[in-house]
A and B are shown apart, each in its own frame.
Chain A
Amino acid sequence: MNTHLKTLSPHIRSRDSVAKRYWGLTLASVPVFVAVILGGQAGALRVLLFSIISAVAFDFLGAKILFKKERVNNGEAVLSATLLTLLLPRNCPFEIAVFGIFLAVFVVKELFGGTGSYLFHPVLAARIFLQMSFPGFFENSGMILEEKSALWILGGLLVSGVAVISQKNNREIPLFYIMISLLCVLLFHSGMESLTVLNWIFFTAFFLLGDSVAMPLTRKGTRIFVLGAALLNFFFEAKGFSMAAAGYAILLMNALTPWLDVMMKPAAYRAKIHLKATYP
């Protein structure tokens, strides 16, 4: 008797996968790196290299220490490394980069349950913690915020943006965030600073909000999340832009996410008729 695979329906699956999403986002950050380097921050590559190596190492070891299945292949560690690098200054000593990665990949992500379970955006949380630990060194510094090469970076971000938006699954969130935030920027910032703020907004929209884990499930929930993040950002920055403030805006909304999930529970449709099968 020949036996066939007996698993539950559905028997076909979409081509979407976690790895595809994370690697896609990582790939979309390449134009930003190109822009950063063309803008004169060649040191970026060194930081990136350290970050990626240590992120993969921590991810792998972390999973082993906690007796979990390692998921280096899904690209999450590399994505975290890439994003954290963009938030560090180009002359960042390698110990600090590695420490930041340790915070992001091991502490905020793995210790909080690993892929899919963490509450706060690992990269942002790590970056803010670094800023608290080394206050003088990190005040508003990060490759993405470099004023000298701001125009280059803006170009790179726009190219990345096209790549992100063309991936169908996360179109609404970045566009909505950009829309709201642009209004605030146009109203309250001017000159060179507005360019940096613009870069920050695009970076947040395309990359930081691309991490769905610490965001609500429903459309309504994500809209409120995005609205809240943008408005809080604006509120915290009333006295001028600061990366910590912008980060807190998102972390605060992260903290609200479990509550938003429950509040924004979709209203189920329940047909009044009862359909009952004849066979068990």
Chain B
Amino acid sequence: MSTRNFVGIRLERKKEASLLNWNLKRPYTPERVRISLPATAYPCVHVGNNVQTGQKIADPVGPGCATVHSSMEGVIEKIAIFPDATGGESMTVEVRRQGDPKAPATFENVRKNWEILKEEELLDIFQNSGIVTTDALMQPVHAKIKKNEQHPTLIINGCEPEPYVTCEQVLAMAHPLEILKGAEILKKTTRANQILFVFEDCNLELVELFKSKIYFLKWEHVKVRTVPAVYPQGHETTLLQRWFSGKEDQAIVFPASTAFAVYEAVVHQKPFYERVLTVGGECVIEPRSLWLPLGISFRDAIHTCKGVMREPQKVIMGGPMAGTAQENLEVSVMAGTNAILALPKEVIRDKAEEPCIRCGACVDMCPVSLSPAMITLAAEHGEFELAEKWDVSACIECGNCSYVCPSKRPMLKWIRKAQAEMAQTALPKSQKNHEYAS
């Protein structure tokens, strides 16, 4: 294993603040939720309908999509296109609460015979419970697994290399057994022989907790591994690169919180309509990780954590390295939203861009061995083909290159531009612009 596999930046982790409030609370229902639908889902409710918590509100079109469920009891107020937190726009169902805030609904109905369900039945449950991966990609779990495909190793990822973000850690600490059982269910559907739990080496208490649980369960096919706590180690690609370089199809990676969602869907028959996420950053009064319904607006989410003590310069969905900055707080939480961060000016340290001094820091720090300086230079001059010769499409958008650059070069701007251009030219003519047309 070459040392290139361990490239990473030791960032200031800043997780302590949100770890002060360990218990995972579920706040009362907000006034409204706006649930974004993926492009391939079609709403199956109408404006004015009453919906219950967990009721299906959108059907999948085609097999590669999962259902979408209401995260709150209320009345459908609008079905329209709204900007979503990824920076794009999507079809959105708005549910408005009737009457006073209520305690969130619970699903305690244990499914009988869940232990003997077959692979196809489980995949169907995944699809009809609307389970998508809880990372930024938000892929439907049943589609990611694919029927009849075997992945000998199942990796359950408990790493959070991003600063501030603690949702996986808190959830894994609170529900280790559920996550283990969820992993066991995923193992059945992926036909894996072994399960690897991966944590960062600074979260030793998690490692010990899981080791002891596995020891008591006598599950010999489950192992716990650690990766160094440097960014972006713990990202899906870097995990595959570390242990399965060249044979990536041998393994499949799911975040620990996805395993938890799988457990709840299969055992408690609870559709996927809420998730644990971190509301944090220096500006938030009571930063913590907590359960929030999907679709809750960033404003309400921050409000449940007692609001902000001063006006943040940036509000970010996700971590500060790879997250998306939001213009306003009306956007809503999505399945892949692992954090809402309100960051002040002195943390952002926005500086003017300067010319590249070819110091090589970005090349040294790229986890997938690209040459970001060259890519940026090519893309800046409109030479996107050249950028592709320098492998721009292999970029995982981790943000390391811009982080270390002494000239504060906006690499990701150019990298995304080049990627978009290449994707456009790679498509056959009929499919161009298709994502916006549908």
Binding site for B on A (CB under 8 A): 1-18, 20-21, 71, 74, 114-117, 169, 212-219, 222, 261, 265-273, 275-280
B325 contacts partner chain A, Cβ-Cβ < 8 Å: yes
Closest CB in chain A relative to B61 CB, distance in Å: 13
A5 B406 Cβ-Cβ under 8 A: no
- Top-5 shortest CB links A-B: A10-B399, A116-B355, A268-B391, A280-B88, A266-B369
User: Which of B97-105, B107-115, B187-195, B344-352 lies at the interface with chain A?
Assistant: B344-352
Q: A10-B403, A269-B368, A270-B393 are in contact. List 7 more A-B contacts (CB 8 A).
A: A2-B329, A14-B406, A115-B354, A116-B355, A268-B368, A269-B245, A278-B140
Query: Could you give, for residues 68-110 of chain B, a 1 whenever the CB lies within 8 Å of some chain A CB and a 0 otherwise?
Result: 0000000000000000101011100000000000000000000
Query: Is B173 interfacial (CB 8 A cutoff)?
Result: no
Instruction: State which of B248, B349, B370 has its C-beta within 8 Å of the C-beta of A12.
Output: B349
Question: Of the 9-residue stretches B176-184, B207-215, B233-241, B262-270, which lies at the interface with chain A?
Answer: B233-241
Say whether A5 contacts B314, CB under 8 Å. yes
Which of B117-125, B152-160, B358-366 contacts its partner? Answer: B358-366
Q: In the complex the two chains form, what is the Cα distance from A270 to B390 in whole Å?
A: 12
Contacts of A6 in B (CB 8 A): 314, 325-327
Asked if A9 and B325 sit within 8 Å, CB to CB, the answer is yes
Interface centre among A11, A216, A267 (most CB of B within 10 A): A11
Are the CB atoms of B355 and A115 closer together than 8 Å?
Answer: yes
| A280/B435 in contact, CB under 8 A | yes
Flag if A12 contacts B321 (CB, 8 Å).
yes
The complex places the Cα of A10 from the Cα of B373 at a distance, in Å, of 16
Cβ B236 vs Cβ A212 within 8 A: no
A4 touches B315 (CB 8 A): yes
Is B326 within 8 A of A218, CB to CB? no
CB distance from A206 to the nearest CB of B (A): 16
The winner among A5, A15, A20, A21 for most chain B CB atoms within 10 A is A5
A273 to B146, CA, bound (A): 13
User: Do A11 and B320 touch across chains, with their CB atoms under 8 A apart?
Assistant: yes
Among candidates B9, B330, B399, residue contacting A1 with C-beta atoms closer than 8 Å: B330
Contacts of B86 in A (CB 8 A): 277, 279-280
Contact A9 B355 (CB under 8 A): no
Q: Are B360 and A18 in contact (CB under 8 A)?
A: no
Known contacts: A13-B349, A273-B248, A280-B436. The answer to whether A217 contacts B138 by CB under 8 A is no
Q: Does B323 contact A (CB under 8 A)?
A: yes
Flag if B399 contacts A9 (CB, 8 Å).
yes
In the assembled complex, B136 has its CB within 8 A of some CB on chain A: yes
B11 (CB) vs chain A CBs: closest residue: A12
CA of A269 to CA of B396, assembled, Å: 10
A159 → B minimal CB distance (Å): 24
The complex places the Cα of A245 from the Cα of B347 at a distance, in Å, of: 49
- B357 touching A21 by the CB < 8 A rule? yes
Closest chain A residue to B12, Cβ basis:
A12
Q: With CB as the reference atom, state the residue of chain B lying closest to A1.
A: B328
* CB contact between A275 and one of B137, B312, B359, B370 (< 8 Å): that residue: B137
Contact A280:B39 (CB < 8 A) given known A4-B326, A12-B321, A115-B354: yes
Chain B residues closer than 8 Å to A277, beta-carbon distance: 86, 136-139
Which of B18-26, B49-57, B217-225, B407-415 forms contacts with chain A?
B407-415
A selection of 15 A-B contacts at a CB cut-off of 8 Å is A4-B325, A4-B328, A6-B326, A7-B325, A7-B350, A10-B400, A10-B402, A14-B404, A17-B406, A18-B407, A116-B356, A213-B357, A266-B370, A270-B368, A271-B237
Which residue of chain B has the shortest Cβ distance to A275 in the bound complex?
A: B137
Contact B322 A9 (CB under 8 A): yes
For the complex, is B43 an interface residue (Cβ under 8 Å from A)? no
Bound-state CA distance A161–B348 (Å) is: 33
B320 touching A10, Cβ below 8 Å: yes
- Alpha-carbon distance A213/B357, docked complex (angstroms): 5
When the two chains form their complex, are residues B313 and A4 in contact, meaning their CB atoms are under 8 A apart?
yes
Q: Is the CB of B369 within 8 A of A278?
A: no
Bound Cα distance from A212 to B132, whole angstroms: 46
Residue pair A17, B408 in contact (C-beta under 8 Å) = yes
A271, A275, A278: the one contacting B38 at CB < 8 Å is A278
Residue contact B325 to A8, C-beta cutoff 8 Å: yes
**Is B27 part of the contact surface with A, judged by Cβ < 8 Å?**
no
Given the known A-B contacts A2-B328, A4-B327, are A217 and B350 also in contact in the complex, defined by CB atoms under 8 Å?
A: no
B241 to chain A, nearest CB (A): 5
A212, A269, A270, A271: the one within 8 Å of B359 (CB): A212
Q: Which residues of B contact A213 (CB under 8 A)?
A: 357-358
| In the complex, chain B residues whose CB is within 8 Å of the CB of A219 | 360, 363-364
Does the CB pair A271–B369 fall under 8 Å? no
- Name the one of A10, A16, A114, A268 contacting B370, with C-beta atoms under 8 angstroms: A268
